[in-house]
Amino acid sequence: MTTKDPRAAGLARYAALVADETRAACLLALLDGRAWTQGELARHAGVAASTLSEHLGKLVAGGLLTEERQGRHRYVRLAGTRVAQLVEELAAQVSPDAAARPRTLRQSGAGSAMARGRTCYDHLAGRLGIAVTDAFAARGLLLRDTGFALTDAGLRWFAAAGIELDRRGRRPLARACLDWTERRPHLAGVAGAALCRHALDTEWCVRIGSERAVKVTGAGERALSELLGIDAATLR
C-alpha cells in the first residue's frame, strides 16, 4: 500500500492557480514589486474587469496575492519574495522558442527594454542585473561557488556606498535568482533588494513604460562605473 505525500494536494493547488494564461499574466506583471489596481491588471491581461476579478479572487485565496482596498480601488500585489521567486523561476523554464514572438514594433521594443534591464520583484534583472552580479564577483565582493554569499569585502562595499542592509529577518543576505532572459543567476536577497532600492531612489535607474523595465541614467552609468567598474556600453 502506498502512502500519498501530504504535500501533493497543496502542490496541485498551486500548479492549478498558475496554469491559466490570464492569472500568469497578472503574476508576471506584479513582479515589478508594486501594487496594481484591478482595472490596470485587466487592461494589461486584455480581459474584462469582471473576469479579472474572479481570477484575482482565486490568487488571493490561494495565497499568491495579497489585497487592500482604498476607496473604490482594489489593489493587489505579490504575497512576498517567495512567491516572486517561484514566478520568476517558472518563467525562466520557458524557452525563447516557446514564447510568443512580438507581433508589433511596440511589443518588440518593450521586449528589448525588459531584456536590457528590469526589476525582478525587488532586485535588478536582465543584462543590467547580470552585469552588476558579474562585477560583484569579479571584484571579490560576491562568492558564487556554492550558492551566492557576500564576502567581508562585499559588506564593506555596501557600507561605503551608503546602502543599508537590513539583516534582521530570515531572508538570505544574498541569493541566486535565475534570470529568465539571460539564463544565468543574478543577485537577489537582502543585498539585491537594497541595491535596487538605492538605484531607484538615487535615480541611477528609472522605470520606463508600463512594464517593469528600467533604464540606467547618465548618473547611474557614472556611479556603476566608479563603484563597480562596469562599462557604460554594456548598460545601454
pLDDT tens digits for range 31-69: 888 889 999 999 989 999 889 999 999 999 999 999 988
Residue 118 DSSP SS3: strand
Instruction: Tell me which residue range forms the domain holding 62.
Output: 8-79
Residue 171 has pLDDT above 70, yes or no: yes
The model's confidence at residue 234, banded by pLDDT at 50, 70 and 90, is: confident
* Exposed / middle / buried, residue 70 (Cβ in 10 Å: 0-12, 13-18, 19+): exposed
The residue ranges of DSSP E strands in 144-230, in sequence order, are 149-150, 175-178, 185-188, 205-207, 214-216
Q: Note whether residue 133 is domain-resident.
A: yes
Whole-prediction pTM? 0.75
Cell numbers found for residue 226: 566608479
Total count of domains within the chain: 2
Distance of CA 186 to the CA centre of its chain: 10
Identify whether residues 69 and 143 lie together within a single domain.
Answer: no
Residue 173 cell numbers, joined: 543576505
**For residues 115, 179, 86 and 17, what is the CA-based torsion angle, rounded to 10 degrees?**
40
Is the CB of residue 187 less than 8 Å from the CB of residue 148? Answer: yes
Specify the CATH number for the domain of residue 71: 1.10.10.10
Phi, psi (deg, nearest 5) at residue 22: -65, -45
Whether residue 28 sits in one domain with residue 109: no
* Same structural domain, 217 and 136: yes
pLDDT at 105: 46
| Residue 95 is assigned to a structural domain of this protein | no
User: Does 103 score more than 60 pLDDT?
Assistant: no
- Note whether 95 and 103 are within 8 A (CB): no
